[in-house]
Amino acid sequence: MSGHAIPDTLLDVQALDKRFGGLHVTRNVSFQLRAGDRLALIGPNGAGKTTLVNQISGVLEPSAGQIWLRGADVTRTSQAQRVRAGLARTFQITTLAPHFAVQRQIELALFEREGLTGRLWRSIDGYPALQAEAQDILARFGLQAHAATATQDLAYGEQRLIEMALALALRPKVLLLDEPMAGVPKGDGARLLAALDALPGDLAVLIIEHDMDLVFRFANRIVVLAEGAVLADGSPDEIRRDPRVRAAYLGA
Amino acid sequence: MNHPTMTHPVQAAVAVAMPLQPAQSAPRCAPPWRAPLLLLVAGLAACAAFPDQLGLITRIFITGLFVLSLDLVVGVAGLATLGHAALFGLGAYAAGIFALHAHADPLLGLGVGIVAGALTALVSGAFLLRYQGFTFLMLTVAVSQIVLSLVQKARNWTGGDDGLSGFAMAPLLGRFAFDLEGKVAAVYSLVVLVLLFYVAQRIVQSPFGLAVRGIHENRARMAALGTPVFRRLWLLYTVAGALAGAAGALSAQTNAVVGTDSLSFALSAEALVMLILGGAGQLTGALVGATVFTLLHHTAASINPYHWLFVVGGLLMLVVLVPPAKAWAWLRQRAGGVR
Q: What is the Cα–Cα distance from B53 to B43, expressed in whole angstroms?
A: 12
Nearest to B99 by CA among B255, B260, B263, B267: B255
Q: What is the Cα–Cα distance from A181 to A208, expressed in whole angstroms?
A: 10
| Region label for B44, one of left (φ > 0), alpha (ψ between -120 and 50) or beta (otherwise) | alpha
From residue B70, alpha-carbon distances to A98, B126, B250, B272, B294 in Å are: 23, 18, 16, 8, 16
Q: What is the Cα–Cα distance from A179 to A26, expressed in whole angstroms?
A: 19
Mean pLDDT of B170-181: 83
Q: What are the domain boundaries of chain A?
A: 9-95+171-250
Helix (H, G, I), strand (E, B) or coil at B206: coil
Going by CATH, does the domain composed of A9-95+171-250 fall within 3.40.50.10860?
no
- Which residues in chain B are closer than 8 Å to A107, comparing Cβ atoms? 210
Alpha helices in chain A (DSSP H): 49-57, 79-84, 102-113, 128-140, 156-169, 190-197, 212-218, 236-241, 243-245
Mean pLDDT of A163-185: 92
Q: What is the pLDDT of residues B231-247, one digit of tens each?
A: 999 999 999 999 999 99
> pLDDT at residue B103 above 80?
yes
- Who among A117, A135, A198 is closest to B4 (CB)? A198
Q: What is the Cα–Cα distance from A121 to B259, expressed in whole angstroms?
A: 35
What's the distance, CA B141 to chain centroid? 18
Q: What is the pLDDT of residues A32-87, one digit of tens each?
A: 999 999 999 998 888 899 999 999 999 999 999 999 999 999 999 999 999 999 99
Verify whether the Cβ–Cβ distance A83 to B12 is below 8 Å.
Answer: no
Element (H, E) at B295: helix B284-303
> pLDDT at residue B303 above 60?
yes
ipTM over 0.85: yes
Q: What is the pLDDT of residues B42-97, one digit of tens each?
A: 999 999 999 999 999 999 999 999 999 999 999 999 999 999 999 999 999 999 99
- Who among A98, A118, A135 is closest to B26 (CB)? A135
The nearest CA of chain A is from the CA of B316 a distance in Å of: 24
Q: What is the Cα–Cα distance from B63 to B316, expressed in whole angstroms?
A: 18
pLDDT score recorded for residue B4: 39
Element (H, E) at B17: helix B9-17
pLDDT bucket at B5, cuts 50 / 70 / 90: very low
Q: What is the Cα–Cα distance from B301 to B255, expressed in whole angstroms?
A: 20
Q: What length does chain B have?
A: 339
Q: What is the DSSP letter of B24?
A: P
Contact between residue A16 and residue A68 where contact means Cβ atoms under 8 Å apart: no
Counts for chain B of helices (H) and strands (E), in that order: 15, 2
Size of interface A-B (CB pairs under 8 A): 182
What does the DSSP assignment read for A31-53? EEEETT-EEEEE-STTSSHHHHH
Helix (H, G, I), strand (E, B) or coil at A207: strand
Backbone phi, then psi, for A7, in 5-degree steps? -60, -40
Contacts of B73 (CB under 8 A, 6+ apart): B79, B81, B84, B236, B237, B240
> pLDDT at residue B1 above 50?
no
A60 close to B (CB below 8 A): no
Q: How many CB atoms lie within 10 A of CB A225?
A: 24
CA atoms within 13 A on the CB side of B247: 33
Contact between residue A15 and residue A3 where contact means Cβ atoms under 8 Å apart: no
Q: What are the domain boundaries of chain B?
A: 31-264
Q: Identify the bridge partners of residue A175 per DSSP, sorted by sequence position.
A: A88, A205
Q: What is the pLDDT of residues B108-162, one digit of tens each?
A: 999 999 999 999 999 999 999 999 999 999 999 999 999 999 999 988 888 888 8
Q: What is the pLDDT of residues A13-31, one digit of tens each?
A: 999 999 998 899 999 999 9
> pLDDT at residue B2 above 50?
no
pLDDT bucket at B339, cuts 50 / 70 / 90: very low
Question: How much of chain A exceeds pLDDT 70, in percent?
Answer: 95
- Who among B26, B213, B222 is closest to A131 (CB)? B26
Nearest to B110 by CA among B239, B236, B252: B252
B12 close to A (CB below 8 A): yes
Helix (H, G, I), strand (E, B) or coil at A109: helix
Helix (H, G, I), strand (E, B) or coil at A13: strand
- Which residues in chain B are closer than 8 Å to A80, comparing Cβ atoms? 223, 226-228
Contacts 24+ apart (CB under 8 A), B154-160: B157/B93, B157/B97, B158/B93, B158/B97, B158/B258, B160/B260
Average pLDDT, chain B: 88
Burial of B197 (0-12, 13-18, 19+ CB in 10 A): buried
Q: What is the Cα–Cα distance from B68 to A72, expressed in whole angstroms?
A: 44
Q: What length does chain A have?
A: 252
Verify whether the Cβ–Cβ distance A123 to B20 is below 8 Å.
Answer: no
Mean pLDDT of B265-281: 92
A59 close to B (CB below 8 A): yes
Q: Which of B:21-40 have CB within 8 Å of A?
A: 21-29, 32
Q: What is the Cα–Cα distance from B285 to B76, expressed in whole angstroms?
A: 12
Q: What is the Cα–Cα distance from A161 to A189, expressed in whole angstroms?
A: 9
pLDDT bucket at A104, cuts 50 / 70 / 90: very high
Q: What is the DSSP letter of A151?
A: G
Q: What is the Cα–Cα distance from A174 to A13, expressed in whole angstroms?
A: 13
Verify whether the Cβ–Cβ distance A83 to B224 is below 8 Å.
Answer: yes
What does the DSSP assignment read for B70-100? HHIIIIIS----S-THHHHHHHHHHHHHHHH
- Which residues in chain B are closer than 8 Å to A101, comparing Cβ atoms? 27
Verify whether the Cβ–Cβ distance B208 to A144 is below 8 Å.
Answer: no
Verify whether the Cβ–Cβ distance B227 to A78 is below 8 Å.
Answer: no
- Which residues in chain B are closer than 8 Å to A124, comparing Cβ atoms? 29, 205-207, 209-210
Nearest to A56 by CA among A43, A42, A66, A47: A66
> pLDDT at residue B173 above 50?
yes
Q: What is the pLDDT of residues A186-245, one digit of tens each?
A: 767 888 888 999 999 999 999 999 888 889 999 999 999 988 999 999 999 999 888 888
pLDDT bucket at B7, cuts 50 / 70 / 90: very low
